A and B are shown apart, each in its own frame.
Chain A
Amino acid sequence: MSMEVLLKEFAEISEHPHRQIQAFKAEGKKVVGVLPYYAPEELVYAAGMVPMGIWGSNKKTISMAKEYCATFYCTIAQLALEMLLDGTLDDLDGLITPTICDTLRPMSQNFRVAMKDKLPCIFLAHPQQRKPAFGLQFTMDQYQHVKGELEKISGNTITDEALRTAIKVYNRNRAARREFVKLAGEHPDVISAVSRSAVLRSAYFMIKDDHTAKLEALNAELKALPHCDWKGKKIVTSGIICDNPKLLQIFDDNKIAIAADDVAHESRMIRVDAAETGDPMMALAQQFADQDYDVLLYDENSMQNRRADFVVKMVKDSGAQGLVLFMQQFCDPEEMEYPYFKKALDAAGIPHIKLGVDQQMRDFGQASTAIQAFADVL
């Protein structure tokens, strides 16, 4: 398949998650919604069901969710609830609700209450002290609960063998996505910011074997390309999510390529693999314990500025000239880490801009001006 066809397919899927759910259902598959962050999708796969990532929507407007939420909550969570209430996600067979931030904590209750008698909601509380033995045990206990609930929905027992297979499938997909992120950074002439996002976003709406197959084909095409002599600028993106094609188009219009990312919805979720041997539940718990450099996670070495230093290194290694931070409105963890993030970027001489975003943004005029001005100083 040509690169053009592959990119078109990713874009189609990325823009039509609902169509994907309908197709899975038509094939007789069960579909489980997975909210951010760090839910072990491998368990859903191992239960023979399809995990569907739910990271809000760029097309919906908050209306029914207002019955549950005050205005000062992240739109990702609010729009997820909106889609559960307005029927968009009626075909789901279950929903996993992690609770690692202060919005997701009470929202887990709102999801459960709003979906009472309609959709089983599987609660998940990750530990912040995830590395010591007691933390690993707690993650395993939590995952064991998730596993049990998924088994009830699917009617299948999740065997260790099935879970090991799932881990392999997911590791391979993560590897393909990491490879793609690198290749996209090297070939911005053929992978626009809009296409890059669609490829990564579509992973949330596809069975991972299919996504991997297409992505490995795309990666092979990209690898075969000659070195790209990019005349535009290169940046690193950071934040929770930046998947709005209209917003990303501004980057393409201004010849600003994304060399790498520190975005939760993109690379933060695919940095760490799980062990393919040994106890697979322990492997998943260890995978979570190994997650690092994330504003959402507790850092045992909090006296240092490790996460910011990590991103600074990423910017330098990627050859980017600056960083664009998509500050998700009402996101405490991102906001709390900003001052020290800025400090590290400034100290390293890396220019950056902070763009306030939320998923109900429809007018990108201001963002466009800011991005253009930023490109000029890079």
Chain B
Amino acid sequence: MAKEVSPGVLALRKVVEDVYADARVAKKEGKLVGWSSSKFPCELAEAFGLNVMYPENQAAGIAANRDGEIMCKAAEELGYDNDICGYARISLAYAAGKRASRKFDPETLEYVINPASGRPLKDADGKVVIDPETGKPKKDPKTMQPYTVLDDIYEIEALPETTEKEIAYKNFRREAIKPYRQMRMPQPDFVLCCNNICNCMTKWYENIARMCNVPLIMIDIPYNNTVEVHDSNVAYVRGQFDLAIKQLEELTGKKFDEEKFNEACKNANRTASAWLRVCDYLQYKPAPYSGFDLFNHMADVVTARGRVQAAEAFELLEKDLAEAVKVGKTTTPFPEKYRVMFEGIPCWPKLPNLFKPLKEHGVNVTAVVYAPAFGFVYNNMDEMVRAYYKAPNSVCIEQGVSWREGICKDNKVDGVLVHYNRSCKPWSGYMAEMQRRFTEDLGIPCAGFDGDQADPRNFNEAQYETRVQGLVEAMEANAENKEG
């Protein structure tokens, strides 16, 4: 039976689909399309009515669609080291024109199906059909896919198109590029970079600017060593906002539209507030959904927080959750025995593998750091600067610990699962100390595992399962001790 999807979740999915679709239309109409880092103040671009795409969201999507490895390898072929952030590698390969595509026969223009792909065929009773010849489950032909190959849009565009055969081949090759939205994102006409998350972002966007020969608008947020954001830091970033507005005016030939800006701010605040309230539903015991679902909804906060539709969709989801709590329903497909905080970005290519041992042990993720990390709420421009100053990797350890311990307490977690993410040095760089503090301050066990947000080669399933097992045993022992 298909999983029931609530109206709020459907609305959230549509919002992101629309963001991508609008950008594709804009590009076709010859309008500017930009690429932006996820925590660039989107309100500035919204004030100019610009269509903006988000490479981090795109990379996560590509990774979740199992094309992280082929794109990462494509970037490595271009000379980018395999130690560089997986999102950056995927994005740089994409900016260079590389695409995950479907293999086809150039003569017949038919896809070449990969026999290893596809899900098992099930009969009317939902039982797996066994092939009598091989003794193995039969594949459902509808779910079988062509082999994945790497292609290059610039190579395709350079192909001749004189004969009918050439035209047909060229068109087919264009269409063979995988049809999901993240693989069909328009190339950028400008880039917006805010390095509050990491400095890798600075070099990543400089590379895109160079590769695509497009202007770069930069908001630099230096790392902060105190919980408070000092006036000096605010003045520095305010100066950059003013410069960015000037640059956007030059880029678009339009004047800064204060009304549109205020509208975007209003929407962004409304989205952030609704997002935070949705996150707070994880405080219920049992939680009406899993923190893994929040990871999916992040796409909306990243790509559309300045749009009213995102705010409305989160508000709708909020209603769904209120109802779920009222009737005692949850989307978590197992009884919740333990509650944990998942620290870090998930391993997108390995979501099912991450989920499997958690499900086995009844571990629900009821806290994720993204909850406070995207809750940008502000009342004026200076507060907006302060809000953008506080991204996960731009804050000092005290602020980082306080955020996390806050949600650990509010969301009543029994343990913490820490992702040591090969792609994210600033994030993983002080996790060992944080783990010590969680245990000391909250009396809860922590377990770390090695993984990667986008490159499946850096995830070790056996190690992960062992660590989850260890965490469960520690949580069990903790619970027994409490019971006395």
Contacts and interface: CB of A to CB of B under 8 A. Distances in A.
Q: Do A and B come from one complex?
A: yes
Contacts of A125: 222-225
Contacts of B425: 72-73, 102-103, 106, 330, 332
Which of B215, B225, B430 has the most C-beta atoms of chain A within 10 angstroms of its own C-beta? B225
A123 B225 contact: yes
Contacts of B422: 72
B99 to A, nearest CB: 19
A106 B204 contact: no
Given A128-B220, A329-B83, A337-B203, A303 B236 contact: no
Contacts of A300: 218
B220 A332 contact: no
B84 A332 contact: yes
Which of B83, B85, B238, B394 has the most C-beta atoms of chain A within 10 angstroms of its own C-beta? B83
Contact of B85 (A295, A299, A327, A332): A332
B222 A336 contact: no
Contacts of A99: 222-223
B167 interface: no
Contacts of B25: none
A334 to B, nearest CB: 9
B128 interface: no
Contacts of B213: 303
Contact of A103 (B203, B396, B429): B429
B429 A128 contact: no
A338 B429 contact: no
Given A109-B433, A299-B206, A302-B210, A128 B222 contact: yes
A340 interface: yes
Interface in A289-306: 295, 298-300, 302-305
Nearest to A303: B209
Contacts of B443: none
Interface stretch (A62-70, A85-93, A196-204): A62-70
Nearest to B240: A129
A134 interface: yes
Interface in A128-181: 128-129, 132-135, 137-138, 141-142
Contacts of B236: 127, 129, 134-135, 137-138, 141
Nearest to B83: A330
Interface stretch (B73-81, B146-154, B347-355): B73-81
A232 interface: no
B84 A336 contact: yes
A219 interface: no
Contacts of B80: 335-336, 338-339
Interface residues of A, number: 53
Which of A73, A129, A142, A330 has the most C-beta atoms of chain B within 10 angstroms of its own C-beta? A129
Contacts of A333: 199, 203
B421 to A, nearest CB: 9
B236 to A, nearest CB: 4
B210 A305 contact: yes
B225 A102 contact: no
Contacts of B232: 137-138, 141-142
Contact of B200 (A141, A305, A332, A339): A332
Given A113-B433, A335-B80, A336-B80, A298 B239 contact: no
A105 B432 contact: no
Contacts of A241: none
B8 interface: no
A65 to B, nearest CB: 10
B159 interface: no
B397 A127 contact: no
B207 interface: yes
A106 B430 contact: yes
A77 to B, nearest CB: 9
A113 B435 CA distance: 13
A105 B199 contact: yes
B54 interface: no
B118 interface: no
Nearest to A329: B83
A109 B204 contact: no
Interface string B190-208: 0000010011101111110
Contacts of B204: 336
Which of B222, B430, B450 has the most C-beta atoms of chain A within 10 angstroms of its own C-beta? B222
A109 B239 contact: no
A224 B413 CA distance: 74
A269 B432 CA distance: 32
A307 B80 CA distance: 17
A69 B429 contact: yes
B223 to A, nearest CB: 4
A267 interface: no
B276 interface: no
B88 interface: yes
Contacts of B85: 332
14 contacts: A69-B432, A70-B429, A101-B199, A102-B393, A105-B394, A127-B222, A128-B220, A134-B235, A134-B239, A141-B232, A302-B209, A303-B215, A338-B81, A339-B78
Given A109-B225, A303-B210, 5 more contacts: A70-B431, A70-B432, A138-B222, A333-B203, A336-B84
Interface of A: 67-70, 72-73, 99-103, 105-110, 112-113, 123, 125-129, 132-135, 137-138, 141-142, 295, 298-300, 302-305, 327, 329-330, 332-333, 335-340, 342
